[in-house]
Amino acid sequence: MRTRSRITLRRALVSALLLTTSAALPLPAQTTPSRPVPNKQLASRELNAKVDALLRKMTLEEKIGQLVQFSAGFATGPGSEGKNQRFDEMVEKGQVGSFLNVVGADATNHYQHIAMEKSRLHIPILFGLDVIHGHRTTFPIPLAVAASFDPAMGELVARTGAEEARADGVPWVFSPMVDIARDARWGRIIESNGEDPFLSSAMARAWVRGYQQGDLSKPESVAVSVKHYAAYGAAIAGRDYNATDMSQITLRQVYLKPYQAAVEEGAATLMSSFNSINGVPATANPLTLDKILRKEWGFDGFVVSDWGAVGELINHSIGDGPTVARKALTAGVEMDMEGNLYGTTIAAQVRSGKISESVIDEAARRVLRVKFALGLFEHPFAQPSAPYQPTDEKRARTRKVADESIVLLKNDPVEAAGTLLPLKDKNKTVALIGPMADDQADLLGAWAAGDPKYVVTLRKALEEKLGADHVLFAQGCGLLNGQDAQIWAKNGGPQPVADENATINEAVEAAKKADVALVALGEPAGFMEGEAGSRVNLGFTGNQQKLLEDVVATGKPVILLVAAGRPLEIKWAAEHVPAILEAWSPGHEAGHAIVDILSGDVNPSAKLPASLPRAVGQEPLYYAQMPTGRPARNADLSHMPANSEEKYLSRYVDEQNSALFPFGWGLSYTTFGYSNPTVDRASIPVREVMASGHKSLVKVGVDVRNTGSVAGTEVVQLYMRIPNVSVEQPLRELKGFTRVTLNPGESKHVEFPIGFDEMNFYNVDLRQVVEPTTYDLWVGGSSLADAHTTLKVVE
């Protein structure tokens, strides 16, 4: 194995050589200036000396034991229901290194006392848990947090989750999920940061910082497990667990970017994904697990499989049990989650010579590194804590995040009365209608560990704000109807509404009596979102669409609140409802945050991290489209083609190509203007960019002005296109964003630094290069930004 010092010297020599040659010569990715060691704790000599000293004492079976993980509590996955296994003996013999779903001081300390007092070498157990958007305190779902375009919010959610998980005896969380998600049919889009690699990478870094806090040994920090490595979000047809297939350029330039950012931020562990990538299962993929993750990125932590993913390699038809265990381990999956193949098949293969014991040593070494870094050898036990109660501080945290996550999609004027939002007149009567208006569980969102009883519903918050006598509540219908509702009820959902025709009529009558109707719709979070929650229809479930249309037909002004964990198809609503809010799944402070926005106490600032479709047939849908030889230049070309000039284009014959609401979209109660886009250098030599490493070289500037009558926060976004180069690039890509708060009439000059990191792309040789061309740059408030300037890259 080459040492890092040799690699660094080699890179420096190659870089120096390249600077003496033609500027047009492409610079390989591995010869750009090397990054620091991703996690200095895991790479430290002192820590690794302890690890190696312990390894020398361990038997082969004890080393393999460190690679074995079982669930001893609630879980998702086949065979997870009602499990009641006893693992005491395995812990005592050193045959298990980790448990998941064991939560609380009593439960974790039970196993930890056995490990520390009865096992031969006293190696602590590593406890892991899915902590997705908070632990006891539940925040908005990650997709909603990404809508804030504020990495500080992701860091806050992660830090709070870390504090609470560690207090429950859990020092390792299976989060963040950083899969690029461009298909709203895929249920796990709720856990993602959306469709864009730049935004996702920024949020990935923030989540890692929040969880690990720069020091795994801190008593309130936890190790992350960044998931699902890799390209899980590109499942064909949006069907969970399905295969993915893409070019290596797309894999590296789009889908791997957020994982790389998380590793660079010091991520301690990663989780392999269920899918195959170009025919090779991700859980046995030497390209992604070894060549890229370890050799290119310098990752020193370990990789755990997803639930049963090693065993499921048999279904991928790449071998029997022993074979798939060997392939996964040698590819770079160090820990087998609930597969029970490492513990039962690896030792015999080592003794027969099929697997070198050095492979076992390296895998165990990586697991032990994380245990030492977390301080588990010195402080293995959790301290008992009082039962959870949401404090004012915790509620303030989740309310703040939710306030920044709610997107104002539409706010059209209603005749001479102006816009419906904000609701300034507290004397108006509001008809609050819909199944999401008073639903604690589904406002909490999927993958929520928090107790729904702590959720503030929209009904409760609105009655607090306006007074109960100014709110006319009518549920209208359930989230599901018919057989779906009955199945849901048998699986913990609410009882079906007996007569939805009658309840919809009641809602219509409530709307007629009110000054304005607020209709809160969505989808059942725990039943149709998250893992195994793929859908082929993205409209409102059950009778919700009928409810909405009947309320709109009353002629009363209508505000639509969408509370769902994915972009839904709301084209009819966009055409008929004057005001629409996308609230996602807002968590414990759902009602208060929504009312903050409705009342204008908080001016909305969130932007869409994922495009909303006009029709499900557009999926996968994303703004960063590639150019085509026959572009449909008329974005409004939605009618049937009338002639050959309209027909033979890259278009649909029955719908527009564009999103209903595109990435980066989000309105405010004020307006913003952009002017004077500039670059501080009109041109730059390609040689300078190639040699710059990660330094910024050019500043892109723009003047932003609040042109409205109230203070507001705008997310200023920078987009780039790289035309006329050796590999075609997207029509535009996000390359910078920042939040700017301005008073009415106030202006601010905003600047974005760019350099090699923003300007490079992968060429056909899979090298990150910059080539001479003229870069197009746009700055604005969404992916439709139109304040344009250019930057020339010259020979």
Name the residues annotated as catalytic: 306
One-character DSSP codes across 322-343: HHHHHHHHHHT--BEES---HH
Interatomic CA distance for residues 666 and 782, integer angstroms: 7
CB 4: neighbour CB atoms within 10 A?
A: 11
* Closest of 710, 792, 789 to residue 751, by C-alpha: 789
* Rounded CA separation 651/537 (Å): 21
Neighbours of 652 (CB within 10 A): 15
Q: Cβ–Cβ contacts within 10 Å for residue 407, how many?
A: 25
Q: Which residue has the tokens 């959790």?
A: 382
| E strand or H helix at 269 | strand 269-272
Give the Cα-Cα-Cα angle 411, 412, 417 (nearest 5 degrees). Answer: 110
Q: Report which of 443, 483, 697, 711 is spatially closest to residue 590, judged by C-alpha positions.
A: 443
Give the CA count within 13 Å in the CB-facing half-sphere of 241. 12
Three-class HEC string of 432-459: EECCCCCCHHHHHCCCCCCCHHHCCCHH
Going by C-alpha positions, the residue among 714, 709, 717 that lies closest to residue 670 is: 709
Question: Which residue, 559, 519, 782, 788, is CA-closest to 660?
Answer: 782
Q: Angle at CA 358, nearest 5°, toward 352 and 359? A: 80
Helix axes 45-57, 357-373, angle to 10 degrees: 130
Return the amino acid letter for 431.
A
- Whether the link from the prior residue into 176 is cis, omega within 30° of 0, is yes
Helices (H), 213-352: 248-250, 257-264, 286, 321-331, 342-351
